[in-house]
Structure 1
């Protein structure tokens, strides 16, 4: 049911540029760019200013979920009268990219992680909720409108737009007091505003970071697509990892055009960070590039 999310959204024609040609860096180019990125990560650890990360749909393609603007993306194929292929959201599992990001977080190289994905895989892999900004929401999450208790469901909450789901809260998990507040979904529709809580987390992250890393996103949808511009005004450099040219290609320091999981896994290897891959991966483990 890879089209469930799309079917829940309101009709909105302005989805940005889709179907851009893919760019493939040579191995030598990837290694050269990775050296620069590795230096930023080492500097972040030395200075105590962790990397600020923005995640897009390209991170979940390894989990067999289609992206939106890629060659086989949902919106690209939709424009051609076709349907994207992929697994059901409910059976999708975190892949090498998710686990590499988690490993870098555990090692202290990165802290705040903004995800534009609503598939819930960033929570599922184990990224701490306090450091995760699910800026567009989570299809598996319900939130109490009174006490803000969160409920992570096994099945998709078939609603978007922060609307009541018809269920009631079981009580405040911190105080133990009865609540019975109304539950709502936690996923934005096109015209739903980003929560102030999320925006406050992002403002705080800017004060703590030394570098912005945008992974698997074309940066077409604002306001998150404008983060490289925000970084520039703060004197912070940006690295992007995406097959297609991003919306801010000309102004970022480094644009890596390569497989997301190859770059992230190679980065972990170069930094000596062990990635706990487990035994239930949905994708193959790449051979890390030697930097």
Structure 2
């Protein structure tokens, strides 16, 4: 499937500011900031990362608001360029660096706005991951909620905000943001609500906020450290300062057997149940093999790869 997933969405008027000029820190300043970020991570007790579309642009998947983003090009009456498909996209150095940070215990929880499935494909454990907008490779049984990770796009789109917030008080994603003494955002303009405001929960509870993005964001004034550079370059320097190697992607296949995954839904609706979905909680569910899984995006369309 083409990575033009935006074409499958219903019209969305509140796209925020698109095409804002990019800002680049001088090389020597980028090195200094990467060292400072490494020190902040070493001294933190609970680090949460937040990722956006900017971490997947090096994989051939365009972002939305960058100079060549889907919505930026749309505003100009142009068609965005797509260099790959979802199925052929491979995890970037940033995806693999995040996996390694989790393995060594420096990253406690990961919250992503991306639907490209690259965090899961990198091998990142789903119990430590909240995919707020869903995953194009995950489908869910509408009867029991059991999820299936597929090796092809499930072919449905259409997650829409309802304007309501989840009333479940104990949810893992919110707890992680409030518990964190350091939140780090990578490749996101933080314009979409409520996901863009989640990093601020860390600040409100006395923690620190780091923003890594090429374009200015709406929360720059709240940041304790601002880094303007390509995310892959920043993460490569960060890992060097932490004396960690970025593992190479081993071509891990998607799990395709129904029994390989058994997770609670992480994307029932954006505003209404996004917070509940952020639990990333693994549950045992009643066997429901006779129920045909439907697209996780809640459209009544049977995916072609079932």
Which range, TM-score by smaller chain? 0.7 to 0.9
Structure 1 residues 10-25: aligned runs within 5 Å: 10-25=10-25
Name the residue aligned to 1:143. Answer: 140
Structure 1 residues 66-145: aligned runs within 5 Å: 66-86=62-82, 87-145=84-142
Q: Secondary structure at the match of 1:94?
A: coil
Q: Secondary structure at the match of 1:92?
A: coil
CA gap of 1:123–1:223, structure 2 versus 1, over 3 A, is: same
Q: Secondary structure at the match of 2:10?
A: coil
Contact between 2:31 and 2:237, CA under 8 Å: does it hold in 1?
no
Contact between 1:12 and 1:190, CA under 8 Å: does it hold in 2?
no
1:247 to 205, 209, 218: 218
Q: How many pairs does the alignment contain? A: 250
Query: Offset of 1:146 from its aligned partner?
Result: 2.8
The gaps in structure 1 that reach 5 residues or longer are: 162-187, 281-291
Q: Secondary structure at the match of 1:212?
A: strand
CA gap of 1:56–1:195, structure 2 versus 1, over 3 A, is: farther
Name the residue aligned to 1:176. Answer: none
Following TM superposition, the consecutive aligned residue runs of length 4 or more in structure 1 with deviations greater than 4 angstroms are 190-199
| TM-score, length-scaled by structure 1 | 0.80
Contact between 1:50 and 1:108, CA under 8 Å: does it hold in 2?
no
CA gap of 1:274–1:23, structure 2 versus 1, over 3 A, is: same
Name the residue aligned to 2:288. Answer: none
CA gap of 1:197–1:84, structure 2 versus 1, over 3 A, is: farther
Name the residue aligned to 2:232. Answer: 261
Structure 1 residues 208-223: aligned runs within 5 Å: 208-223=179-194
Q: 1:153 & 1:258 partners in 2: Cα distance?
A: 33
Query: Offset of 1:207 from its aligned partner?
Result: 4.6
* Structure 1 range deviating more: 12-21 or 198-207: 198-207
Q: Secondary structure at the match of 2:108?
A: strand
Name the residue aligned to 1:286. Answer: none
Pair 1:50 & 2:46 matched: yes
| TM-score, length-scaled by structure 2 | 0.77
Contact between 2:180 and 2:202, CA under 8 Å: does it hold in 1?
no
Contact between 1:219 and 1:246, CA under 8 Å: does it hold in 2?
yes
CA RMSD of aligned residues (A): 2.1
Contact between 1:96 and 1:261, CA under 8 Å: does it hold in 2?
yes
Q: Deviations over 1:157-213 (max 9, x none)?
A: 22234xxxxxxxxxxxxxxxxxxxxxxxxxx23448787789812122135422000
Q: Secondary structure at the match of 2:171?
A: helix
Name the residue aligned to 1:158. Answer: 155
The gaps in structure 2 that reach 5 residues or longer are: 252-306
CA gap of 1:196–1:27, structure 2 versus 1, over 3 A, is: farther
Contact between 1:62 and 1:97, CA under 8 Å: does it hold in 2?
no
Contact between 1:228 and 1:248, CA under 8 Å: does it hold in 2?
no
Query: Offset of 1:28 from its aligned partner?
Result: 1.6
Query: Offset of 1:274 from its aligned partner?
Result: 1.7
Q: Secondary structure at the match of 2:23?
A: coil
